[in-house]
């Protein structure tokens, strides 16, 4: 066996304060060479370094200040069709060498898996684009605390019924990562994520209600102003006062944009390769079949500037690309990694690690216009519980929101359960609103469904 190598990268070169992409690439290259030296036939390395801080102010006081600085390395080695892996946070090369040795030892004793191994070289993102995702926020802890206090003060002054606060939190984080494998590919990406959230409590008589609002972006310049965060948090909390229950009935339902994201998230999970080859998806064998109405299209756009879900390559190093998952209501593609694609006898879609910026077509109507279209029914603004069976599509979750009559909100509702089956819910999707919530990887407006069973306590 060749002599163990000595990495050209020392710990000082990996300090987040002066970290350079070339140092990350060199370390990945050194780890891969070490794996080959120790007997691996191929290997891949995923490395990440993150840093940031979070502050929370409540009732004018500083409730918490948290700093974080994390490092992680995942090493996967292949000995033929046998696989071994190791994870560590120690970047000293002696520790890395021991981790490689452990992974190689594991690989020698595992069963062969004919579907294991690296992505084919021609699929790798050797010419990946540089995406605009890295926008550090030049904000001190002291300034963040000042902003949090100001936001909370503005929210508490909005209405005398706002009697308490669970705090305003400001987060700012940046990260840099590298993926490489023994096909000669090493890619580096860096990104930032910043967030301001405000959680309030309102009281009216003996009734108390809680709600919140938040803003999140890769670029701090794209965050909502704190005045807007405070006002929206206060308005949402006040609107919940006077909540009632409903009698059990079947009615049309609108999922507000922020919860509609979760409704589409179940679709994303159902088309993921891992759930398909394990036969734990209600959309098994649905490729080429209608899932949504004909007016629905769903696609991903992985290279958008400043978007929270953008990525130039996936977790296998495969080049990401625009994918159409639903066209004219018909399921066109599954969401596949290298491994799941091999298991299913298909081709990867560049989705190892998930989808990237999923969009659904909208019908151009605002939420008030959707309410008019619905007439009488339920507007859901919050969901509770995990009552979704991905195998059967059965859906049952606790909910709260607003009762709507003649297209107008009449009163808030709580302590209800909505139930249906995702097959039927997707097939009977009436319309998607243009009030797109951009605060996530899935971007959608409010979604109007033809009907669901609503169970109340009356």
Which tens digits make up the pLDDT trace of 215-236? Answer: 999 999 999 999 999 999 999 9
Q: Are the C-beta atoms of 413 and 242 separated by less than 8 Å?
A: no
Predicted local distance difference test score (pLDDT) of residue 5: 58
Same structural domain, 204 and 254: no
Predicted local distance difference test score (pLDDT) of residue 353: 95
Predicted local distance difference test score (pLDDT) of residue 204: 95
Predicted local distance difference test score (pLDDT) of residue 28: 96
Query: At 104, is the secondary structure helix, strand, or coil?
Result: helix
- Residue 400: phi, psi to the nearest 5? -145, 165
Which domain, by its residues, includes 175?
A: 11-233
Predicted local distance difference test score (pLDDT) of residue 385: 87
Q: Is residue 284 part of a domain?
A: yes
Same structural domain, 151 and 268: no
Number of domains in the chain: 2
Give mean pLDDT, residues 368-379: 98
Same structural domain, 198 and 284: no
Predicted local distance difference test score (pLDDT) of residue 116: 96
pLDDT tens, residue by residue, 389-399: 999 999 999 99
Q: Two tokens at 192?
A: 């930032």
Q: Is residue 448 part of a domain?
A: yes
Q: Is residue 348 part of a domain?
A: yes
CATH code for position 83: 3.30.2290.10
C-alpha distances in angstroms, 422 versus 175, 268, 383, 385, 453?
36, 12, 15, 16, 13
Predicted local distance difference test score (pLDDT) of residue 155: 97
Domain boundary among 193, 210, 233: 233
Domain boundary among 181, 202, 233: 233
pLDDT tens, residue by residue, 337-355: 999 999 999 999 999 999 9
Same structural domain, 310 and 430: yes
Position 375 pLDDT exceeds 60: yes
Distance CA 260, CA 430 (A): 13
C-alpha distances in angstroms, 232 versus 3, 199, 308, 367?
63, 10, 22, 16
Same structural domain, 17 and 137: yes
C-alpha distances in angstroms, 102 versus 95, 106, 109, 262, 272?
11, 6, 11, 39, 31
Using alpha carbons only, give the angle 354, 358, 362 rounded to the nearest 5 degrees: 160
Q: Is residue 419 part of a domain?
A: yes
Q: Is residue 21 part of a domain?
A: yes
Position 175 pLDDT exceeds 90: yes
Give mean pLDDT, residues 279-304: 98
Predicted local distance difference test score (pLDDT) of residue 14: 61
Q: Is residue 2 part of a domain?
A: no
pLDDT tens, residue by residue, 35-81: 999 999 999 999 999 999 999 999 999 999 999 999 999 999 999 99
Q: Is residue 258 part of a domain?
A: yes
Position 315 pLDDT exceeds 60: yes
pLDDT tens, residue by residue, 235-251: 999 999 999 999 999 99
Same structural domain, 187 and 206: yes
State the chain's mean pLDDT as an integer.
95
Q: Is residue 238 part of a domain?
A: no
């Amino acid at each position: 066996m060749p002599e163990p190598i000595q990495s050209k990268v020392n710990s000082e070169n990996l300090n987040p304060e002066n970290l350079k992409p070339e140092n990350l690439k060199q370390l990945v290259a050194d780890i891969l060479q070490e794996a080959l030296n120790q007997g691996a036939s191929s290997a891949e390395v995923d490395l990440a370094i993150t840093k940031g801080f979070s502050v929370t102010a409540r009732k004018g006081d500083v409730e918490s200040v948290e700093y974080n600085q994390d490092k992680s390395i995942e090493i996967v080695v292949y000995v033929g069709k046998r696989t071994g892996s190791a994870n560590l946070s120690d970047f000293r090369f002696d520790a890395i060498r021991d981790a490689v040795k452990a992974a190689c030892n594991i690989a020698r004793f595992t069963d062969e898996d004919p579907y294991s191994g690296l992505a084919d070289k021609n699929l790798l993102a050797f010419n990946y684009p540089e995406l605009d995702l890295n926008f550090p926020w030049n904000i001190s802890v002291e300034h963040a605390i000042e902003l949090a206090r100001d936001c909370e003060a503005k929210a508490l002054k909005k209405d005398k019924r706002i009697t308490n606060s669970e705090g305003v939190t400001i987060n700012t984080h940046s990260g840099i990562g590298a993926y490489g494998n023994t096909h000669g590919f090493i890619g580096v990406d860096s990104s930032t994520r910043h967030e301001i959230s405000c959680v309030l409590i309102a009281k009216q008589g003996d009734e108390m209600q809680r709600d919140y609002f938040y803003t999140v972006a890769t670029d701090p310049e794209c965050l909502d102003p704190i005045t807007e965060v405070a006002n929206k948090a206060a308005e949402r909390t006040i609107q919940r006062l006077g909540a009632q229950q409903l009698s059990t009935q079947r009615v049309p339902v609108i999922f507000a944009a922020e919860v509609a994201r979760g409704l589409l998230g179940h679709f994303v999970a159902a088309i993921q390769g891992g759930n398909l080859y394990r036969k734990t998806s209600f959309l098994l064998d649905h490729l080429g079949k209608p899932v949504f109405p004909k007016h629905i299209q769903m696609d991903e756009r992985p290279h958008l500037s400043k978007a929270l879900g953008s990525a130039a390559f996936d977790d296998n190093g495969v080049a990401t690309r625009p994918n159409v998952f639903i066209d004219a209501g018909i399921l066109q593609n599954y969401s596949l990694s290298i491994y799941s694609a091999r298991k299913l006898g298909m081709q990867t879609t560049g989705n190892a690690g998930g989808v990237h910026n999923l969009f659904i077509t909208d019908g151009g109507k605002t939420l008030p216009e959707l309410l008019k279209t619905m007439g009488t029914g339920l507007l859901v603004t919050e969901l509770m519980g995990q009552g979704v069976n991905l195998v059967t599509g059965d859906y049952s979750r606790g909910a709260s929101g607003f009762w709507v009559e003649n297209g107008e909100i009449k009163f808030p509702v709580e302590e209800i359960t909505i139930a249906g089956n995702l097959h039927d819910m997707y097939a009977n999707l009436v319309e998607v609103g243009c009030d797109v919530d951009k605060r996530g990887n899935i971007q959608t407006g409010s979604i109007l469904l033809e009907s669901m069973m609503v169970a109340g306590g009356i």
